[in-house]
Amino acid sequence: MKASFKPLTKAEEEIMQVLWKLEKAFIKDIVDELPDPKPHYNTVSTIIKILEDKGFAGHESFGKSNRYFPEVKKDDYTKKTMTQFLKGYFEGSYANMLSFFAKEKDISIEELESILNEMKKADHKK
C-alpha cells in the first residue's frame, strides 16, 4: 500500500468490496454486483479511475475495454483502517475498544473468550 494512506469514501469502498470479491472485473461486472438502485455505468467508471489514482486498483486492457483488479489486499486495507479507527476513537488501545463494546453490551463473554483464545493461538505461533 502507498506510504500515504488515503482512506476510501463510502462509494469507493463499496466498489473495492466488489473488486476484492471478484478479483478481476469489467465495469459491467462491478455494476451487476452492486445493490439496487444500481449506480450508472459512468459513475462506477469514474470511481474506478479515482481508485486507480489512489493506487487501490489497476487494470489490464483488452482492446477498448479494461478489466480491473485490486492493487491493495483487503486485509492490508482493513488493518490500516482499523489502526486509524483505534487511534481516532480509542487512543490506539484494543483494550479500550473491547471495554467500550463490553460496556455497551455489544459483545458477549463468549465473544471475548473467543478473541482471547485467538490471541493465545497467535502468541504461540511466534
The answer to whether domain 10-70 and domain 74-125 are alike in fold is: no
Give the start-to-end residue ranges of the domains of the chain: 10-70, 74-125
Tell me which of 1.10.10.10, 3.40.50.2000, 2.60.120.10, 3.40.710.10 is the CATH number of domain 10-70: 1.10.10.10
Q: Where are the alpha helices (DSSP H) in the chain?
A: 10-22, 27-33, 41-53, 74-90, 94-103, 109-125
Gap between the Cα atoms of 62 and 56, Å rounded: 20
| Domain 74-125 fold | Penicillinase repressor fold (1.10.4040)
Query: What pTM was computed for the model?
Result: 0.76
Nine-digit cell at 17?
468490496
- Residue range 71-111, pLDDT digits in tens: 999 999 998 888 888 888 888 888 888 888 878 777 778 88
Contact 101, 109 (CB under 8 A): no
Contact 80, 1 (CB under 8 A): yes
> pLDDT-derived band of residue 4, with 50, 70 and 90 as boundaries?
low
Contact 47, 35 (CB under 8 A): no
- Residue range 12-61, pLDDT digits in tens: 999 999 999 999 999 999 999 999 999 999 999 999 999 999 999 999 99
